[in-house]
Structures are given as structure tokens and as C-alpha cells.
Amino acid sequence: MLVVMVIIGLFVGLVSLNLFKKGDDAKRMAGRAQISTFMQALGLYKLDTGTYPNTEQGLQALRVKPEDSPQWAGPYLKSDIPLDPWGRPYLYKYPGEHGDDPDVISLGADGQPGGEGNNADIVSWSNK
């Protein structure tokens, strides 16, 4: 009976480790999907207004008309701007530092720039 309990305990331990890893992967995938949605909405915003929202206006300009955007035809997102999968606001910068598009960033699980694995940043200019 003791041997069976040990085997079950080992099995539960291995399964739970794999589930935690899958949960981390799911959060990273959700972050990439949200950033992709933002980039599509930002493209529509630019088509209507001729430019992207500036850093101060941020992603909120996709939901609420900025005072200085008479051609705004939004809202460009159906719901409020979500937090990243770790419960923090996405970072937005325009003009960005990585091309002509704005920079949209989630700082990953650790909330710090850089990092590896689950702590790595999720960024709009790369699919990694």
C-alpha cells in the first residue's frame, strides 16, 4: 500500500509540474494575442486619424476619443483595455523605438525589462 501511495505521489508531482508549465505558456500566448489585437486596432486608428496615438494618449485612445482627433471613428476595441496576463498595464510608446509603429510591451511574469522564459518581455515588434 505504501508503494502505491509513493507512486501516486510521484505521478501527481510530475503532472502538476507540467500543468504549471502549460499555464505559463498560455499566459505568454494570451499576451501575444492581446498585443496583436492592439496592433490591428492601432492600424485602424491610424487609417482614420492619419497617425497613431501619442504616448500620453496611450492605448486608451482606442476606446475614448482624444480631444485633438477630429477624425476619430472609434471605439476601435469592443471592451476596455485589458491588463496583461500578469495583471499589469501594457506599456505603450509612440513614436516607438523599433520602426514606424508604436511599441506595445508586456514585461512578463517578473514585471522587469528583459528576462528569459516566462520572465521575458512580450513585445509588438517581435513574435518571440
The answer to pTM > 0.85 is: no
Q: Is residue 59 part of a domain?
A: yes
The number of CA neighbours under 13 Å toward the Cβ of 9 is: 6
Residue 101 covered by a domain: yes
Q: Judge whether 105 lies within some domain.
A: yes
Band (pLDDT 50/70/90 cuts) for residue 117 is: confident
Instruction: State the residue range of the domain holding 75.
Output: 33-123
- Whether 23 is in a domain gets the answer no
pLDDT of 12 reads 63
Q: How many domains does the chain have?
A: 1
Q: Is 115 among the domain residues?
A: yes
User: How do residues 10-46 score in pLDDT, each as one tens digit?
Assistant: 666 655 555 555 567 889 999 999 999 999 999 999 9
Q: What are the percentages of helix, strand and coil residues in the chain, rounded to 5?
A: 45, 5, 50
In a domain, 28, yes or no: no
Residue 102 within any structural domain of the chain: yes
Residue 87: which CATH number? 3.30.700.10
| Lowest pLDDT segment from 3-7, 68-72, 92-96, 115-119 | 3-7
